Amino acid sequence: MLAVRVLGMLAILLVLSFIVFSMMYLAPGDLVKTLLGNRPASPEAVAAIREQYHLDDPFLVQYFTWLGGVLTGDLGESIRLQVPVADAIASRLPVTLALCAVAFVLALAVSIPLGVASAVHAGRPVDRVGSALGIVGLSAPTFAVGLLLLYVFAYYVPIFPVYGAGDGGLDTLYHLVLPGITLALGLGAIVLKLTRTALLRELDADYVTSARARGIDDRVVHRLALRNALIPIVTGASLVLTFLVGGTVLAETTFALPGIGLLLQDSVLFKDIAVVQALTLLIAVAIAVIALLADLAYLLLDPRVRAKGVPA
Amino acid sequence: MTAVSIHARGLTVLAPDGRTMVQPLDLDLVGGETVALIGESGSGKTLTAKSLIGLLPPGFRAQGEVRYGEQAFELSMPDAAWRPLRGRTVSLLLQDPFTSLSPVHRCGEQIAWTIEAATGRRLRGAARTSAIAARLAEVRLPERVARAYPHELSGGMRQRVAIAAALASDPVLLIADEPTTALDASNQAEILDLLHGIQTARGMAVLLISHDLGLVRGRTDRVLVMRSGEIVERGDTATVLAAPEHAYTRALIEVDPAMRALAADDGSTADGSADDGSTPALAAGTDRPTAVLEASGIVKRFGERTVLDDVSIALRPGEVTGVVGESGSGKSTLARCIAGLEREDGGEIRFEGVVLAPGRGSRTPAQMQIVFQDPYSSLNPMMSIGAILREALHVARRPAADVAVLLETVGLPADFAGKRPAQLSGGQRQRVAIARALAPRPSVLICDESVSALDVSVQAQVLALLAQLRDELGLAILFISHDLAVVREIADTVTVLWDGRVVEQGECARVLTAPEHEYTRLLIAAGRRENPRAAASDLASKGTR
């Protein structure tokens, strides 16, 4: 089962790399002009650049040159940064990972308890507050929230930094608070709604009535209902995480964070194909791994799934 | 345990809109006694039960007073005041063992919660294991069940676990709300006998809620008959069943197939050859029409398991062919193979002499149609009845105007076309499902437990409709049921399936009055709600298969 999945994933990655490569090839813009900048474009210089980056090869040959490199472990060189792609990504990855982690933890830490409280006290004030927050979180665009937070908490009440990733450690965490909240708001709203709906359905189930009739404490009853509601919640959380991995670019742009989102944006604008390709594949792999982990979590969470075996 | 008496006075239940769902009633129970509350769905019996434990649905209110032993409580008290009573004083056993246990927790753990809630102490290690094992032993389940998840157990075993969980807090009153409705006939009797045994041993009071008079017979001391929220009759079970005073009780007894079967047995002669007149005589030698559909040597495997093993059956126009067996006997799989919903692994199915390839592709709608068990889920809730029927007529290339004809065929007024499934009762929905199946004018109608989800009186009406369709349209009906009493009502011939094999096959009156196979005898005993345990151990000891 696992082997089938991995093979399927490799096929998807191959197709994806081809599509992204073609789109970069077709996109307007001339690498030579970008590289030369204001310097005079002598025919020799242009020819040298075209030669160096195989720009005169047919499209398919260019693609297979890149693919051959990747398969032998060489992701190529960033044209823009003039460093190996692997180094360029490695230097940017920590900030993005930290941002994802902060946003994910913030989103879950608020939305799951609030979702549980909303379901347990459905129709009461806590549920109303939860619903209102959910609607705001779902409908506010990420960049708008980011700008608003910057305006309020970095400009009017300057308690948080405006841009940058800080100097590492706690300082970085401090710098990631606003972008983290920005990302967490929309994602947390989804998890909040999912948690509330899933738990409401479980609280309505016969086994909950049965447990209450047996005199079992409400706290224990809620815990057992939540345990049953975990599958939809984990599904929701994993979807949110996959969205996060691809979605940091907006927050990174707004807050000028030097992560892979910003790197991706710059590389696309520069037609830095090797970096774009590597980043796309990295994000795709991350999403596939998260989906696989979610499916493995079902095995842990539901003995009925366990009895049937790993979902393909 | 000393016997505790329970008295409810002026118990009333009000709906959110202020309607009175249960008229003021008094209820008395003494430890060691079982009282049955009988009524059809919607009569208010479940609301009565839930009001005694403070678990009414949101918005519903109870009034009146209940005394558990020395202490008196207002039925209208808030949830927090009910909590200390639940479990330790009164416990509730729910109908469906498939939903009343948490699917992701082990059975032992679920029993332990009750013990911990009642004693207020966490159980650990060996003490926990032995406490759970003791509770399982009381419901005659082996210790290993503690490690099992509910989905690994059969329905009967799950209900035993649910009983163990409900009783682990040692309540003085157990309210059992239709505890066997979701189970097979033989399991039903076993579960009730088990409850009865535990109750006697503990001196506990049991309030048994049921729609089934046959089940109550011989297992309860007193009975209350409820209709539209009102108690219409009460008294000793034997007296009430033998000489019902109220017309409603008489009607309930009359429509109950098991009760009728008993009456029929009493009237038949000892050699069992007498025909009770409810089925057309099919004496050997008389001309019978040739079979429209013949299945022979059907084999079906799910993985390692053989579900159907060399099963043969013939369906004739104008006849109802009954198939009985417990869940897991393969009867539904047989119906699905015939309908092409499952692909058989061996054998052949012939329609009017022509072999049908496995699967749906080889069948036409006009050959056969199927009516499923649950009319609540087999009709699309978003579509009106008219739209549902028009869709079926369109597939059958019949004019949409025939909707009225179809409705009339199943005894529904033409204005039902404008209604939606949610506005209909269970019986009416099943009639719509039958009407839909009749749209392509099929030769064969497959009814897979089609009346099992219905109340007994509604069941009788739908059975009468099926018999009428058989006679008027000359339908060949394959009637699958776990309920022998129902099959007896309608079937001309019957096939008894056990563990995927045909153990007995023949004319219905003959098989049911003079069964040749022990398993059939066991089923008949269970159908009468007699104690099947003796028959079961009998069967096991002889090693018959």
Both tokens assigned to B80:
């927090």
What is the structure's pLDDT at B48?
92
Each residue's pLDDT tens digit, B204-261 = 999 999 887 777 887 888 999 998 888 999 999 888 888 888 888 888 887 776 666 6
Distance CA B172, CA B68 (A): 8
User: To 5 degrees, how large is the angle CA B259–CA B260–CA B262?
Assistant: 65
Starting at the edge strand that comes first in sequence, how are the strands of the sheet with B444-448 ordered?
Answer: B368-371, B444-448, B476-481, B320-324, B493-498, B501-507
Question: Which position has the token pair 């200390």?
Answer: B84
User: Which residue in the block uniquely carries the two structure tokens 């299945």?
Assistant: B295
Residue A131, C-beta contacts closer than 8 angstroms, at least 6 positions apart: A118
| Residue from B266, B183, B186 nearest B519 by CA | B186
Q: Does B323 contact A at CB distance below 8 Å?
A: no
In the prediction, which pLDDT does B261 show?
62
> Residue B447's pLDDT is what?
92
Written as one letter, the residue type at B114 is: T
**Residue B543 banded pLDDT, cuts 50, 70, 90:** very low
Residue A308 phi/psi, 5-degree rounding, is -90, -20
Residue A202 distance to chain B (closest CA, Å): 10
Of B166, B173, B163, B213, the closest CA to residue B193 belongs to B163
Distance CA B278, CA B486 (A): 12
User: What pLDDT score was predicted for residue B257?
Assistant: 67
Higher pLDDT among residues B52 and B287, named by residue: B52
Share of chain B above pLDDT 70, in %: 90
Contacts of B52 in chain A (CB under 8 A): none
Q: What pLDDT, on a 0 to 100 scale, did the predictor assign at position A92?
A: 87
**Smallest CA–CA distance from A300 into chain B, residue:** B104
H helices then E strands: how many in chain B? 19, 20
Count of A–B CB contacts within 8 Å? Answer: 85
Q: In terms of pLDDT, which residue wins out, B423 or A29?
A: B423
Position B351: which residue type?
F
Higher-pLDDT residue of B157 and B282 is B157
Of B96, B104, B113, the CB nearest to A227: B104
Q: In this predicted model, what pLDDT tens digit does every residue of A82-95 receive, in sequence order?
A: 888 888 888 888 88
B290 half-sphere exposure, CB direction, 13 A CA radius: 4
B540 has a pLDDT exceeding 50: no
Q: How many CB atoms lie within 10 A of CB B344?
A: 23
Please state, rounded to an integer, the average pLDDT across all residues of chain B: 84
Please state, in angstroms and rounded to a whole number, the distance separating the CA atoms of residues B146 and B106: 7
**Measured distance CA(B367)–CA(B387) in Å, rounded:** 23
pLDDT in tens, B125-141: 888 999 999 999 988 88
Q: How far apart are CA B452 and CA B314, in angstroms?
A: 23
User: Helices B155-167 and B125-138 meet at what angle, rounded to 10?
Assistant: 120
A93-107, A258-272, B281-295: least confidently modelled range: B281-295
Report whether pLDDT(A8) > 70: yes
pLDDT at position B381 over 50: yes
DSSP bridge pairs for B358:
none
Angle at A298 between CA A135 and CA A307, to 5 degrees: 145
Question: What is the mean pLDDT of the segment spanning B387-398?
Answer: 90
- Tokens 């003039």 belong to which residue? A82
Residue A34's pLDDT band (cuts 50, 70, 90): confident
Please give the C-alpha separations between residue B341 and each of A70, B334, B364, B434, in angstroms, as whole numbers: 49, 10, 13, 18
Is the CB of A303 less than 8 angstroms away from the CB of B94? Answer: no
Q: How confident is the model at residue B275 (pLDDT cuts 50, 70, 90)?
A: very low
Chain B CB contacts of A206 below 8 Å? 94, 96, 99-100
Distance of alpha carbon B505 from alpha carbon B495, whole angstroms? 4
The predicted structure's pLDDT at residue B456: 78
Q: CB of B113 within 8 Å of any CB in chain A?
A: yes
This model of the complex carries an ipTM of: 0.75
B149 contact A CB<8A: yes
Distances (CA, A) of B271 to A30, B262, B513, B523: 101, 16, 8, 19
Task: List the beta bridge partners of residue B65.
Answer: B9, B74
For B105, the closest of A206, A224, A304 (CB atoms) is A224
Residue B25, beta-bridge partner list: B11
Q: Which residues on chain B are in Cβ contact (under 8 Å) with A212?
A: 55, 86
- Parallel, antiparallel, or unpaired: how do β-strands B230-236 and B222-227 relate? antiparallel
pLDDT at B320: 93
Tell me what pLDDT residue A72 has: 84
Give the C-alpha separation, B370 to B378, whole Å.
Answer: 11
**Site from A204, A209, A210 to mutate, B interface, most B CB atoms within 10 angstroms:** A210
- The CA-atom distances, in angstroms, between B53 and each of B29, B91, B432 are 15, 7, 38
d(CA B368, CA B292): 10
Structure token digits, residue A272 = 């830095």
By mean pLDDT, which of A104-108, B169-173, B182-186 is the weakest? B182-186
Q: How far is A290 from chain B (nearest CA, A)?
A: 23
Give the Cβ contact number of residue B401 at 10 Å: 9
CB proximity list for A143: less than 8 A, separation 6 or greater: A250, A253, A254
- Per DSSP, the residues of A207-245 read HHHHHHHTT--HHHHHHHHHHHHHHHHHHHHHHHHHHHH
pLDDT given for residue A105 in this prediction: 93
Closest among B374, B399, B368, B400 to B453, alpha carbons compared = B374
Q: Which of B113, B119, B159 to mutate to test the interface with A (most CBs of A within 10 A)?
A: B113
Do the chains contact at B166 and A211, CB–CB below 8 Å? no
Quick one: pLDDT band at residue B532, thresholds 50, 70, 90? very low
- The pLDDT of residue A84 is 86
Residue B262's pLDDT band, with cuts at 50, 70 and 90, is: low
Specify whether the CB–CB gap between A176 and A102 falls below 8 A.
yes
Give the H/E segment covering residue B176.
Answer: strand B173-177
The nearest CA of chain B is from the CA of A187 a distance in Å of 27
Strands B476-481 and B493-498: unpaired
Question: For B289, which DSSP code?
Answer: P
Tokens of B175: 């309210």
Mean pLDDT taken over chain A: 84
More confident residue, A51 or B330: B330
**Range A56-68 average pLDDT:** 84
Q: Is residue B142 within 8 Å of residue B173, measured between CB atoms?
A: no
pLDDT for residue B260: 61
pLDDT confidence of residue A308: 66
- CA pair distance A269, B364, nearest whole angstrom: 60
Q: Phi, psi (5° rounding) for residue B321? A: -100, 115
Q: For residue B71, what are the contacts with CB-CB under 8 A and spacing of at least 6?
A: none
Supply the Cα-derived Rg of chain B in whole angstroms.
Answer: 25
Structure tokens at A91: 């230097």
B117 contacts on A by Cβ (under 8 Å): 214-217, 220
pLDDT of residue B508: 87
pLDDT value of residue B489: 86
Tokens of B49: 């039960």
Residues 182-221, chain B, touching A (beta carbon < 8 A): none
Q: Does B545 have pLDDT greater than 50? A: no
* Rounded-to-10 torsion of CA B20, B22, B23, B25: -150
Pick the residue with more confidence: A311 or B494?
B494
Question: What pLDDT, on a 0 to 100 scale, did the predictor assign at position A119?
Answer: 92
What pLDDT sits at residue B531?
45
Q: According to the model, what pLDDT value does residue B533 have?
A: 43
Mean pLDDT of A16-22: 88
The verdict on B87 touching A (C-beta cutoff 8 Å) is yes
* pLDDT value, residue A80: 81
Establish if B82 touches chain A: CB-CB under 8 angstroms: no
Nearest chain A residue to B148 by CA distance is A303
B293 close to B444: Cβ distance less than 8 angstroms:
yes
Neighbours of A62 (CB within 10 A): 17
Summary count for chain A: helices (H), strands (E): 13, 0
**Chain B positions in Cβ-Cβ contact with residue A227 (cut-off 8 Å):** 102, 104-105
CA dist., res. A275 & res. A151, Å (int): 33
A205 and B98 Cβ atoms separated by less than 8 Å = no
Residue with tokens 């499952």: B342
Mean pLDDT of B508-518: 84
Instruction: Phi first, then psi: give them for residue B376, nearest 5 degrees.
Output: -75, -30
pLDDT at B542: 46
Please tell me the predicted confidence (pLDDT) of residue B389: 93
Which residues of A fall within a CB distance of 8 Å from B91? 213-215
CA atoms within 13 A on the CB side of B395: 16
Question: With an 8 Å Cβ cutoff, are A207 and B165 in contact?
Answer: no
- Give whole-number Cα distances, A208 to A123, A215, B175, B303, in Å: 19, 11, 16, 35
Confidence tier at B113 by pLDDT (50, 70, 90):
very high
- Proportion of chain A above pLDDT 90, given as a percent: 18
Which residues are B349's β-sheet partners? B295, B356
pLDDT at B304 over 80: no
Instruction: Kindly identify which residue of chain A lies nearest to residue B85, measuring between CA atoms.
Output: A215
R_g (Cα) of chain A, nearest Å:
24
Digit-coded pLDDT (tens) for B468-479: 889 888 899 999
The three-state secondary structure class of B96 is: coil
**pLDDT more than 90, % of chain B:** 31
